[in-house]
Structure 1
Amino acid sequence: MALVPFRLSRPYNGRKLMLASVTCICFLWFYLSFNHPYTSYSSLRAPWDAHDSAGPAPVLQDTSSEQWLEKPDIFDDPPLDSAAIRSVCAKTEWNANLTFTCNNSGGGVGNQRNSILNCLRYAISAGASMTMPRMILRNPANIADIWNRERTSFDYLFDESHFVESLRLSCPQLRILKELESNDTTPIFVTPEKLSEEITPEGIDHPEQWRDRFYGWLRNTTDVQKPVIDLDRSYLQYPIYSDPEEFALDFGKVLKFRQDTRVVATTTLRNLVQKYNLHGDFRSPTWNHTFFGVHLRTERDSQQGWPPTLYEYSKYETQSTNYLKQAAASGTSVMYVASGNVEEIARFAEDAKAYNLSVTTKQQLLEGEDKEKLEAFTFDQQALVDYLVLLKSSDFAGVGHSSFAWNIALWRHQLAKQRDHLNGPQLMSDELSQIYGTVRQYLEYACCLWP
């Protein structure tokens, strides 16, 4: 079965006069690239493809905090160049005849992010090529309607060029393909975790044996010479720390949110600083003594999945009481609240007055064209803005049944001094974040969620 390579678009230069040497080099490069039978993301790279044309300029050491905040996109990190990932890929036996597809990720950004990363990890384990991931598009008219719906492209949430370039640098053996050329070979569907003998809250047993189990299953399933494997959604079942710690901490960095959401998040933060006259080192990963971040998880999809009648921490009263007490003790007077439930945000803002706390949201901090950009985003795209803003908060609070909150808290935990974060007093506790719930509950988030 033939595979269609993915070629990044390149800007057309209409000028007729060019130096002869440049012309020859470009001609040679195009000829070699487009005549290779298995051109892929990994092999098709031009010098101008390495970064966006308007990519980040080098940050000067003497850039002031205020100057840093004037950047249009403070979240535009360079592509990942990870020695830890490169080491794992170098030790892998790669199979040029095997391709994985990753088209079944669904849910919010926390779900999507971890599912795509798991798919990528299984592809590396098997030594397979992988098509660009696709994801299930949530119903905009009913955010609880998530599954059995149409697929959309990777760039719906994530930065495609960052993903490709990060893997080219960190795992050069892995071929990322745009798509399959035809349906001549029907993809074989498999749930990757079902190949393991046991699945616990800490993940599949013996992930180092997964490759052998996969190839044993494949031999018994098909004799196709170039099989295509359609991986089912994989969410909280791969034990991330079965890999070296440096690998686990780097792996999630191959994903970066799409540029327009990063720009809106930067504008939101800039307006937050100006509106409330906040001061601090805005170049830091988190902003000390500035604002308190809250994820109020009371939207319809959450209430259906974790009914408040059965789950204490799904209740507005439980979340708000804990959050407001934590905020009052944090020493900050401004709270940034992320939630898709507008009515509950208004209720929370009213309750916060008893603690002399001000509550704000992205909608309140943006105006004009910036607000129009935000409103043009879908529910899940708007969540990316909240996610990035909350990363910067001085102190953060969320609940234990939310992958969105866990993603933020685990990323921030890398910066924390307190290491025993799973021993109470909350479900996850350190000096930067609190995830509320029963201690040792939802162990799969701590064990199987890539930070």
Structure 2
Amino acid sequence: MLNRDFTNQAPTMLNKVLIGIQNKSPRRSVYSLVLWTGLTFIFVSASTYFISQSRPAVDYFTHHESTYDSSANTNGPNPLLTTEGIDQFIHDHAYPRLGESANFTGLRQVCDSTKWQKNVYFTCTHNLGGLINVRNMVLNCVRYAIAAGASGLILPLIEARDPTVLSRLKTGEYQSMQFLFDEDWFKKVMKTNCRQMELLDTIEDVPHYRYATMPDLMNVQSFMGQPPGSRQGRMRNRKPEDFRPRFDALIKSQSKRPGERNPVIVRLDDRTLFSWPPSFDSPAFANYFGFILEFRLDLTALANIIVSRVRPTSSSGASKDPYVGVHLRSEADAGKYWASWDQLANATLSAAVESDIKHIYVASGDTDGVAKLAKKAAESGIKVLDKWGVLLKNEKEYLKPFRFDQLAIVDYLTLLESDRFVGSGQSSFSSHILMRREFIANNTLSTDTKNDNGKPRDQFAGPGRLAYWDQDWP
């Protein structure tokens, strides 16, 4: 009422002031005109300001009034662009993480029972592709290094995809683990639970690396005597128990035995994606090995912020609003036989309506597809949100420079927290989210995807799961 009354009274107040000025100074018409113009500008600006302050925020896709606080959108310096500011943001919002409650007893037992070899090092630089594929390749690299009894592991690198042509994966641009993962966490877990294997930052840290014996780039399938091929199923190491005997034979076949002044450095190629089957290891190892990798802390904090805003406290303060998460994998590069936009959209809306959920969080690079979903959902009174519509100005400014696969971390963690999840069974990203959600629900892997009420928590639209989904580490 205050803003509206002020706006309505402004013309009357202005007229009175100006008439008074003219009456007192009838001979100074020029001065009156200047004053008239200046006061008009002041009153119009003030009115515009008060009106703008009472206008609600608008979310990106639906243009509905938003309940999110916009007070953080200041015109001052962005605290998230300073070291102190982002450190405080991480401290306030990144914890706790799932890995902090992980049980690494299985990892410790495997490392304690392994026969280790001096002066043998593993390096893996060809970790490429989407977020979950990179994750699985890094984990397989570490698993092979442990199986080989390598005395040292050079921290894996990530070959970043082309930022403009996303289908171009082999670019020769190598990033550190920190590009996607929390490197400090990885070092801490490995040093605590697999202390026998030294971690080195770069290949130059290997003693006398210039004199190292480097076998040809190792393709695991060929090394294991399996037919090479591009089909994912052929990547599986069908006899992981034979890897160590074959590896020992490889070391013995070198012209020089590993020594301090002539170390052996083994380089794995980019065909390790689905190579090591987790089912080979005990549940104590397989269920928790994936937690040696946690995502970047700053992106984890942003994901937690999004979850807190997509699921605000209800007006009674008694509960949190649920939301359906969907991985709308309908971009142009989606496989021919993957779930279509119609299948994904219909499955998502059905999940929301069946569970009486009024919010959908969508992760997708298909902006047109997201806009279509938002329009269709609005017909049922359902609101569609994405990270750009939820984050505030300072947060979006911080997030904007990140690359495609880095941004996927925010979506992955937000979808992980959803009450219902819908994805494409042919996507490793969707498949892994469902796998991790099953683990969280059951504290072990299970094919049971129903809750206590007998209703499915998650579902895949279109074709079912990948035939090789179980070759991902949970």
**Residue 16 of structure 1: aligned partner:** none
The one-letter code sitting in structure 2 at the alignment partner of 1:232 is D
The structural deviation recorded for 1:216 is 2.2
Q: 2:286 aligns with which of 248, 265, 269?
A: 248
2:95 matches 1:74: yes
Secondary structure in 1 aligned to 2:399? helix
Secondary structure in 2 aligned to 1:205? coil
2:374 matches 1:353: no
2:310 matches 1:272: yes
The structural deviation recorded for 1:109 is 0.9
2:379 matches 1:332: no
CA deviation string 1:56-97 (max 9, x = no partner): 99xxxxxxxxxxxxx422344538661111001001001121
2:157 matches 1:157: no
The structural deviation recorded for 1:130 is 0.8
Q: 1:203 aligns with which of 215, 236, 247?
A: 236
The structural deviation recorded for 1:406 is 1.4
Secondary structure in 1 aligned to 2:311? helix
Whether contact under 8 Å (1:163, 1:254) holds in the other structure is yes
Matched residues in 2 for 1:419 and 1:261: separation?
26
Query: Residues 33-432 of structure 1: matches in 2 within 5 Å?
Result: 71-76=92-97, 77-78=99-100, 82-128=104-150, 129-181=152-204, 182-185=209-212, 187-188=214-215, 189-198=217-226, 200=233, 203-220=236-253, 223=256, 225=258, 226-233=263-270, 234-274=272-312, 290-300=322-332, 302-303=333-334, 306-307=335-336, 311-313=337-339, 315-416=340-441, 422=447, 431-432=456-457
The structural deviation recorded for 1:276 is 7.5
Q: 1:348 to 1:56 in 2, by over 3 A?
A: closer
Secondary structure in 1 aligned to 2:400? helix
Q: 1:229 to 1:124 in 2, by over 3 A?
A: same
Matched residues in 1 for 2:126 and 2:137: separation?
8
Matched residues in 2 for 1:240 and 1:359: separation?
36
Whether contact under 8 Å (2:348, 2:422) holds in the other structure is yes
Q: 1:412 to 1:332 in 2, by over 3 A?
A: same
CA deviation string 1:144-175 (max 9, x = no partner): 11114311111000001100001111211111
The one-letter code sitting in structure 2 at the alignment partner of 1:101 is T
CA deviation string 1:402-423 (max 9, x = no partner): 1111121111101335999658
Secondary structure in 1 aligned to 2:473? coil
CA deviation string 1:114-150 (max 9, x = no partner): 0000000000000112100101111111111111431
Matched residues in 2 for 1:278 and 1:257: separation?
34
Whether contact under 8 Å (1:262, 1:388) holds in the other structure is yes
Q: 1:273 to 1:321 in 2, by over 3 A?
A: closer
The one-letter code sitting in structure 2 at the alignment partner of 1:443 is A
Matched residues in 1 for 2:250 and 2:375: separation?
58
The one-letter code sitting in structure 2 at the alignment partner of 1:255 is L
The structural deviation recorded for 1:264 is 1.2
Out of 412-421 and 289-298, give the one that drifted further: 412-421
CA deviation string 1:325-375 (max 9, x = no partner): 222223311000001121211111112123332100010001121111121
Q: 1:167 to 1:81 in 2, by over 3 A?
A: farther
The one-letter code sitting in structure 2 at the alignment partner of 1:334 is H
Matched residues in 2 for 1:241 and 1:130: separation?
24
* Pairs aligned (count): 369
Whether contact under 8 Å (1:131, 1:178) holds in the other structure is yes
Rg larger in structure: 2
Matched residues in 2 for 1:265 and 1:277: separation?
23
Whether contact under 8 Å (2:126, 2:157) holds in the other structure is yes
Matched residues in 2 for 1:280 and 1:412: separation?
25
Matched residues in 2 for 1:91 and 1:394: separation?
41
Q: 1:318 to 1:273 in 2, by over 3 A?
A: closer
**Residue 466 of structure 2: aligned partner:** 442
Matched residues in 2 for 1:218 and 1:278: separation?
67
Secondary structure in 2 aligned to 1:431? coil
The one-letter code sitting in structure 2 at the alignment partner of 1:242 is F
CA deviation string 1:182-212 (max 9, x = no partner): 5443633101233224585793222122111
Matched residues in 1 for 2:269 and 2:396: separation?
37
Q: 1:435 to 1:365 in 2, by over 3 A?
A: same
**Residue 81 of structure 2: aligned partner:** none
Whether contact under 8 Å (2:327, 2:363) holds in the other structure is yes
The one-letter code sitting in structure 1 at the alignment partner of 2:344 is Q
Whether contact under 8 Å (2:235, 2:275) holds in the other structure is yes
- Richer in helix (by share): 2
Secondary structure in 2 aligned to 1:443? coil
Q: 1:280 to 1:334 in 2, by over 3 A?
A: farther
